[in-house]
Structure 1
Amino acid sequence: MLTHKVFLTQTDTTIGFVSQDAERLTQIKQRPPYKHYITAVNSQKTLQRFTRIPSRHRNRVRRSQKTTFIMPDGHSYRLIRDRHHLLLMNRLGWAYTTSANLSGNAYDETFAKRSADVIIAPLEATKQASTIYKLGKTTLKRIR
């Protein structure tokens, strides 16, 4: 069953853990349980099942690449466009995504490989992190 597995894969921005089980990711990363994960989705249609995008920002979200959006409800979403990462996302539909390290620490390959259930090769060097925007009904604020 794919929903409870933790995948170690090259995401669109970095090497990371991908899973539909947020509790499992929280245990692995030793992260506070109240923090939200970024929800990666494979299409605009899947994104619409989770949240309503403010009409002023719909075009921006649709055309975005390697960008995470924090919606007015406080949850964050990233629409996946990278074709290699999209192969996994099309099988899952959606998944929580996070960097493959302990919370607050740098990437450690041995920790990452030991913690994952499934390793999807190739794992390349980390790229630049995604840009993060916080969307309001009319406002847009750049977080990272």
Structure 2
Amino acid sequence: MRQDSIFLAQSDTTAGLLSKNPKILNLCKSRPESQPLLIESSHLSGLKKLVRVPNKHKNTIRKAKNSTFIYPNGKAVRVVKDELHSRFLLDFQMLYSTSANPTGKSFSKQWAYEVCDVIVCDRRGFKESSPSKMYKINRCKIQRRR
């Protein structure tokens, strides 16, 4: 696999585009290269390599499902609990992720197929559903973002 490969996969929340390179994901969605993306990790141990989790929130983060946390260093990371998607992520440890739709529009299977390099299909197929809940955390508090 090339470093710049774009994968189309059904995550635990919605159909998404994943890659090791965040710039190429922003490019295919016609967004600024510097726009931050969500990082998906298959294990909590992968989280340790990316961010420092405040002690007060460790238990909350460990038990959360379908939730993304924005950490004090500005990175947004989601630990995937879904068995099928987690199995796909195991080979990569972590991947940058964005929804598989043109910016501001709804999911289009045809557009997603054109943009991606590798299609990862499982028994669920591809469907658009609600995105993960998003929380911003700091040393003391949690604030819901979406």
**Aligned twin of 1:33:** 33
**Aligned twin of 1:46:** 46
Question: Normalising by the residue count of structure 1, what TM-score does the alignment of the two structures yield?
Answer: 0.95
Counterpart contact for 2:26–2:35, Cα < 8 Å = no
Query: Matched residues in 2 for 1:3 and 1:143: separation?
Result: 31
| 1:59 has 2:49 as partner | no
More helix as a share of residues: 1
Q: What one-letter code is carried by the residue in structure 1 that aligns with 2:130? A: Q
| 1:13 has 2:9 as partner | no
**Aligned twin of 1:24:** 24
Query: Matched residues in 1 for 2:49 and 2:127: separation?
Result: 33
Q: Once the 2 structures are TM-superposed, how far is the Cα of residue 124 of structure 1 from its aligned partner? A: 3.0
Counterpart contact for 2:44–2:79, Cα < 8 Å = yes
SS in 1 for 2:90: helix
Query: Matched residues in 2 for 1:85 and 1:108: separation?
Result: 20
Query: Matched residues in 2 for 1:74 and 1:17: separation?
Result: 21
Counterpart contact for 2:18–2:97, Cα < 8 Å = yes
Change (3 A) 1:54 1:42: same
Query: Matched residues in 2 for 1:129 and 1:112: separation?
Result: 17
Q: Once the 2 structures are TM-superposed, how far is the Cα of residue 87 of structure 1 from its aligned partner? A: 1.4
Q: What one-letter code is carried by the residue in structure 1 that aligns with 2:126? A: E
**Aligned twin of 1:132:** 134
Counterpart contact for 1:3–1:92, Cα < 8 Å = no
Q: Once the 2 structures are TM-superposed, how far is the Cα of residue 96 of structure 1 from its aligned partner? A: 0.3
Change (3 A) 1:2 1:91: farther
Q: Once the 2 structures are TM-superposed, how far is the Cα of residue 27 of structure 1 from its aligned partner? A: 1.1
Q: Once the 2 structures are TM-superposed, how far is the Cα of residue 2 of structure 1 from its aligned partner? A: 5.0
Query: Matched residues in 2 for 1:87 and 1:70: separation?
Result: 24
Query: Matched residues in 2 for 1:74 and 1:22: separation?
Result: 15
**Aligned twin of 1:84:** 84
Change (3 A) 1:30 1:133: same
**Aligned twin of 2:71:** 71
